Structure 1
Amino acid sequence: MRLIGHPLFKLLTTILLFVLISLKVDVAEAGKRLLTLPPLFAAAVTATAFFALLVQAYKTKILLPERSVGAILRVSIVSQIYSIVFLGQVGGDIAKAGYLVRTPAELHRIVAAVVFDRITGLIGLLVLGLAGLLFNTQHFDPVIAPTLAFTMVLLLTAMLAMFFLNDASVAKLFGWLPDLISRQLRDTVVATHVFSSSVRTLVASIAMGIAFQAVVVANCAWLGAGLGIDLSLASWAVVICVMSLVLLLPISFGGIGLRDVTLVGLLGGSGVATERALALSLALLGLQLAMAAVGGILTLLPYDKPAAED
């Protein structure tokens, strides 16, 4: 794990993956396609990406009602920097928890909320992905589709099971790890049970997770259409689900290379030209960089953590 998180390893992986893509795809042509997007269209897609973060902020507030939506949104935008530079989405979640913590006493609760938030978001993603497969199986290889469906069901079952494991099962699950790490993970997972013990909270968080992922899928479909990629929303749900799961792997900077390989492979299987698929990947990277840039500006602005927020 230490090797995977090392910046040199991530840099080498990023370079190797992008070189691999460059050998298969005309990068210059992909760049030209990207530049054909009208500025107003690009601005609208970027605004929608920020709107998705706003939906995510409302989702997080379900778990942390004492925090304001504005404060959570600010943290979510700033955490985009860490998602690019450090351990991918995991790095963003760590930064988000760090910014939300106000006192040492609430550390486990905040970390548990962020973990719970991430899990219910992934549940929403998997629900949309499975629905996409169910309603649009003809667009996917007859071998790949069942494999994707099985993997998604397995992941969905595992994530839901985490909310219902008793303390003894959690201890066994992490028992093989070093004691310090095992104890921290065990305490965090057990702490998430505080949120999942409320059916209302669990259902609301999953529902908001589906809403958030739906905005992301719709925005990617809109962006793809602007680049000449004609796919149904059901197909986009599957593509974005698989891409998002792959990007959980913290092996490249900002998902560069990893995102490209995934989209070129998935969209290529649906008959999309590789240049268009790569143009979409570069556009999604541009959205991430735009959010990180705004996050950088926010870190430069004065901001005091209030003692309490409604």
Structure 2
Amino acid sequence: MQRQLSNLLRLALALAGLAFIAWSLTWSDQLVLPVGTTLPDGSTLAAAERVRLIDGEPGRAGDRVVVQLPSELGAGETMSLDAERVGGGPADVQYERGVVSTLAGARWSLVVAGVLLVGTLPFLQTARWLMLLRSQGLDPGMTKAFRLTLVGQFFNFCMPGMTGGDLVKAYYAAKGSGRRGAAVMSVVFDRVAGLLSIILLAGLVGLLLLDDPMVRSLTLVVWLVMLALVVFAMGYFSQRFRRWVGIDWLQRRLGEGSVLTRIDQAALAYRSQPGAVLGAVMVSLPAHLAQMLATALAGWALGIDLSLGVLLVVLPIVYFVGSLPITYQGLGVMEGVAFALLLGLPAAGGEAGAGATVNQIVGMLLLGRLYLLVYGLLGSVYVLRGGMHLFPQDEAMADDETPSEQTLAAR
């Protein structure tokens, strides 16, 4: 019963996210009439008003556009405007594309370039995970690790958040392994390294753009979060702190064979491998940079006019929030954060108007998810074939959760 309620809650959150996106979108092409626009009845607008475009092409010389006025301005009435007045200076009529127009006008060469960039992610993610596995004496080989990385990517589209595939990945990494705790914690630290690097990317880029007030504020928050994570990690791995907060006492009460104790021991194994953890974070930086560049290309393909620097600060934060298991693929959550950070920013190209619209932001994040889905679908091939665990040759081994004394001495 509890599992059914949990599934219903996840479904409700996913539907709520989709509803939020659908409500945010502008489905039809619209024009924004500025203050002072003369209406058919001779009155003038006291405030800017959005009206639906029903005919004509904005900006075309010698043409006129026809718009549908809302009921409060004249039920059923239309008005005609000079098409050349649309999209000019800030005092002119502004054009906002609907969903169909936004996608139809996309520069698909940039979209394809984004797909190719994201293609580097599985290889870099595999290298990161192998680094952590090998630091604990586990080496399944590049082929098996790469295969399970793609499987995890596939299952990311079957569970809440953008990291649900880690559960499946951890299961098959531990299955048949003689050291299940170490295998599972390699997946956990793999995810931690990824999250640390995506925040670090935003912080590093932000340091180059401190003259921008918005970026400066975000950069400060990012580095404060990084500081908090470092302090937490130092405390967790500190013997004195662990005694002070009672972690060691709790372990003694639970016993050596408890699940929590074995997981904790596997995590502590990385205390003697700081180089592997740091290396995993460093390997993640180019992976996340490629993903953010691909998403930025998707935004530019849809007409977003924001600088690469601003996008490389904001997008990592958007993806970081999306990785939390709140809604399916972060639907609604990622969009809400992106709206809060990107809407209202001026265009980087110096043109009048905002640098991004709601439709463009939604389309950019949608394409970003589709990029990942392309490679996630490759993982479905291995799901259908079966035999996904890393260590089939070790199924008869005892479940020894900690490295042997000989292994530790060899290190």
TM over 0.5: yes
2:119 and 2:249 map into 1 onto residues whose CA distance is 36
2:145 and 2:5 map into 1 onto residues whose CA distance is 26
Secondary structure of 2:120's counterpart equals: helix
- Match status 1:80 vs 2:153: yes
* Displacement of 1:89: 3.8
- Structure of higher CA gyration radius: 2
1:234 and 1:3 map into 2 onto residues whose CA distance is 43
* Displacement of 1:109: 0.5
Residue by residue over 1:166-198, the C-alpha shift from the partner in whole angstroms, topping out at 9 and shown as x without a partner, is: 3536853996xx969xx5345324322323412
The aligned residue for residue 110 of structure 1 is 183
Identical pairs, percent: 20
Name the aligned partner's letter for residue 287 of structure 2. F
1:234 and 1:170 map into 2 onto residues whose CA distance is 42
1:14 and 1:174 map into 2 onto residues whose CA distance is 41
Secondary structure of 1:254's counterpart equals: coil
The aligned residue for residue 307 of structure 1 is 393
The aligned residue for residue 287 of structure 1 is 371
CA contact (8 A) 1:4 1:10 kept: no
The aligned residue for residue 220 of structure 1 is 295
The aligned residue for residue 405 of structure 2 is none
Name the aligned partner's letter for residue 367 of structure 2. A
Residue by residue over 1:114-165, the C-alpha shift from the partner in whole angstroms, topping out at 9 and shown as x without a partner, is: 1111112222112111122222244453895366336533443256436633
1:151 and 1:44 map into 2 onto residues whose CA distance is 34
1:174 and 1:118 map into 2 onto residues whose CA distance is 28
2:15 and 2:273 map into 1 onto residues whose CA distance is 46
2:105 and 2:308 map into 1 onto residues whose CA distance is 23
Name whichever structure is richer in helix by fraction.
Answer: 1
The aligned residue for residue 329 of structure 2 is 254
* Displacement of 1:91: 2.2
2:293 and 2:194 map into 1 onto residues whose CA distance is 16
Secondary structure of 1:6's counterpart equals: helix
The aligned residue for residue 278 of structure 1 is 362
1:160 and 1:193 map into 2 onto residues whose CA distance is 11
Corresponding residue pairs, total? 305
1:253 and 1:165 map into 2 onto residues whose CA distance is 36
Q: Is the alpha carbon distance of 1:224 and 1:304 closer, same or farther for their aligned partners in structure 2, counting shifts above 3 Å?
A: closer
Q: Is the alpha carbon distance of 1:239 and 1:75 closer, same or farther for their aligned partners in structure 2, counting shifts above 3 Å?
A: same
CA contact (8 A) 2:113 2:297 kept: no
The aligned residue for residue 157 of structure 1 is 230
- Match status 1:268 vs 2:343: yes
The aligned residue for residue 17 of structure 2 is 17
1:44 and 1:284 map into 2 onto residues whose CA distance is 12
1:267 and 1:307 map into 2 onto residues whose CA distance is 51
Residue by residue over 1:251-298, the C-alpha shift from the partner in whole angstroms, topping out at 9 and shown as x without a partner, is: 211222222222222221534222111110111222233233222233
Q: Is the alpha carbon distance of 1:38 and 1:266 closer, same or farther for their aligned partners in structure 2, counting shifts above 3 Å?
A: same
Name whichever structure is richer in strand by fraction.
Answer: 2
Q: CA RMSD in A?
A: 3.4
1:304 and 1:23 map into 2 onto residues whose CA distance is 41
- Match status 1:46 vs 2:115: yes
Q: Is the alpha carbon distance of 1:138 and 1:295 closer, same or farther for their aligned partners in structure 2, counting shifts above 3 Å?
A: same
Higher RCO (Cα < 8 Å, 6 or more apart): 1
Secondary structure of 1:272's counterpart equals: coil
CA contact (8 A) 1:17 1:261 kept: no
Name the aligned partner's letter for residue 121 of structure 1. G
Structure 2, unaligned stretches of length 5 or more? 29-97, 346-354, 395-411
Q: Is the alpha carbon distance of 1:52 and 1:4 closer, same or farther for their aligned partners in structure 2, counting shifts above 3 Å?
A: farther
1:132 and 1:43 map into 2 onto residues whose CA distance is 25
Q: Is the alpha carbon distance of 1:142 and 1:160 closer, same or farther for their aligned partners in structure 2, counting shifts above 3 Å?
A: same
Name the aligned partner's letter for residue 307 of structure 1. Q
* Displacement of 1:50: 2.7
After TM superposition, list the pairs within 5 Å mapping 1:133-282 onto structure 2: 133-141=206-214, 144-145=217-218, 148-149=221-222, 151-158=224-231, 160-161=233-234, 164-166=237-239, 168=243, 172=247, 184-270=259-345, 271-282=355-366
* TM-score where L is the length of structure 1: 0.82
Residue by residue over 1:214-245, the C-alpha shift from the partner in whole angstroms, topping out at 9 and shown as x without a partner, is: 22222222222222223334322322221122
CA contact (8 A) 1:196 1:202 kept: no
Secondary structure of 1:255's counterpart equals: coil
